[in-house]
A and B are shown apart, each in its own frame.
Chain A
Amino acid sequence: MKLRIYSLILIVFLASSCTSSFDDLNTNPDKTTQATSAMLATKLILGLDATSSPSQWQNEFLVKRIFWGEQMDNYQYNRIEKGTFEYITYLMNAQKMVDFSSESDMNGYTGLYYFIKGWYFYRATMDMGDIPYVEALDVVNHRFPKYDSQKDVFKYILDDLSKANDFFSKSKQSFNGDPFYNGEPLKWQKATNVLRLKVLMALQKRADDTPDLQVKETFASIVADNILFESNDDNLQKNYSDINGQTNPYHRSSTRSIEVYAGSKMIIDPLKEYKDYRLFYYFAPAQALVDPDYLPEGQTLLLPNDWNAYNGLAVEAPFDQEQKKIATYMHNRPNDVYRLSYVGVPCIWLGYADMNFIIAEAVERGWITGNAKEYYEKGIRASFEFVRKTVPSEYNNNMPITDEYIEAYLQGEHVAYKSSGNSNDRLKQIWMQTYLAGYFHMNRDAFYNHRRTGHPAFPINPETNLNDAKDKIPVRWLYPDNESTTNKEQLLIALRNQWGTEVEDVNRLMWVIK
């Protein structure tokens, strides 16, 4: 008996001593064991561009500004497959970020929470249509969240963003962990309002028949409150640097296929036609035409600032036909600043130029009163200023953008605002400039814009179109795989509600663009 007690004590002793020492051993002293709001905020903010699936580098193919020479790309040839809700799960962390905050920075973090929430749900609904919203984040009570109609989702998004605006405006103190605005609530408030304008403009087709969303009224009041971007300095943008881990993602050391990225006719043709110097900042001249080593017989050597050294490829043409031009170095790669500089060009997620174009469209549509021409020109100027500031002069192919040049450009035949023409012509000017300014920025927006406005029109070639409907560009992503495996009942209800059938199809119009 005694022996048994001793052995029991020994076992208890051993067990307890073991566990404590294992605990010590298993704790990595280089990692934190406690999450803070600041840490969560950093991760969430840097993750804002994780919304594109599968990855951002394909988005320029999706919006037809780049032809990819590696192989036939699905997006470039109009094949859209499954979307993702994955990033909505990040919002669990966003809630924690608010929970961990202190009284002094709670308003800031709460504002950020609503901003991020609005941001992610906006992307998800724009990609797929109806999505779970109300029950999406409450997994404890709703294992099978029901889908909300897109109209309701937009209503909730607008509510969230309005709350974000309120919390940021109440916030007296900056919050930690923000690599973009240094936690400055005013800057975030401006970004929030710009996002609100974008969301409202996305609703443009439903502005008239959906009075309860108050699209025009809300838009007008945001513009009237005027807590908006005042220059490119306010942009919500991702800057890169030559520090390891923060480098420009298109640098050829990380994106090797950048060598076979080729500017498309979609963007190069208008740039050439408008005598737009951004051409020389966006692209590199065709190697074969400026480098004697590659010069084909019978061609004359050109200077990098010669307009003829830039010729877009047709994204809709048979792959091998255009790829031959890449094989002979006749294509225009992205400017060396994208390929060779670790600092690269910042990627804009919400920009001053874009904001001005959105407001110009609102004026043109009579949502607000104002001078559309002024906003339009402000937008163009902002884009030029951004380009000239972010692309160092060694990369500009000897075509410096001067103030005089910008003024002259604004008077150009195609660019000068067609004040005397009809409204549709002017809208097309605005949309074209939005498209030209968006090169390598927030590029899924250009897809949404195209879907809504149809301009600039994406070329369709039934011979090469990989979409099932040969004469169409797909307009949505399919619902994610795990929705059909784990939440099927609700998914089927959502499909029936939207299209009266249980068919999943990339060519069906969702409510917001009907």
Chain B
Amino acid sequence: MKPVAFDYVLAESIDTTVAALAAAGGEAKILAGGQSLVPMLNFRLLRPAILVDINRIPDLAFIDERADHIAIGALTRHYRLETSPIIAEHFPVVAEAMRHVAHLAIRNRGTIGGSLSHADPAAELPMLALLLDATLHVVSPTGPRAIAAWDFFLGPLTVDLAADEMLTRVTIPKLPPVTGWSFVEVARRTGDFALAAVAVTLTLRDGLIGEARIAMTGIDETPKRADEAEALLAGRKLTADLIDAAIAAVRANVNPPTDLHASSDYRRHLIGVLTGRALADAWRRAGGEKP
């Protein structure tokens, strides 16, 4: 479990990073927290010629509140997201979800940008990006580009990032008032990748669901929004029957993988159970009437 020999570049800036990426012609990888990359190097699953270390780039780790959104730097560690008062205030669903991301030691090293760029199909951050309609900002030698989260995740470990592009920050629009939320996950052990996880926000208008968002992970090649279930919920009061309908819609529209830890059928079952729980939770938090 020793990596193949590689060159190492300590990047000073975003510009030098993308220049190094471009010069390597697809043979470079960015080293951020290293929590996924280094094991893959040691397993010799990846054999990059060059590692571009971005850990010393100034001003790449931040959580900033703006008028209508929150901006998060790509080098922000998971732990900072987990404990940030800004996140706690605006996106408590994120703070809750971060506690499910691996273990503390990993959250101290792992970065937001790394997790989003790596795009493990069972990871929490990509689903949160989808849930919150985040925008991912990338830079290449030819300039910046902004990508909506729902366009970014293309497949397992595959995202819309060119070989010379680097994710630099994520922006998340603030949620409307009277928004309830929930994050629920089933994993084999504390800190494992999710067998299935669901995150929900319900924004109430006049006692009814104005907007429902349901994001899921562990149940397909990429995280997903439950479009059909969201449409069912809009404009209605949450009732037991409506929850059942949403569960059915969710189960009908996912394509979960089978692996050593869970079969497709069990994951499909779980995603329904978790959707039901998350909807009830979010509805309660939004102050909705008891279903």
Genuine A/B complex = no
What residues make up the interface of B, taking CB atoms closer than 8 Å to A? none
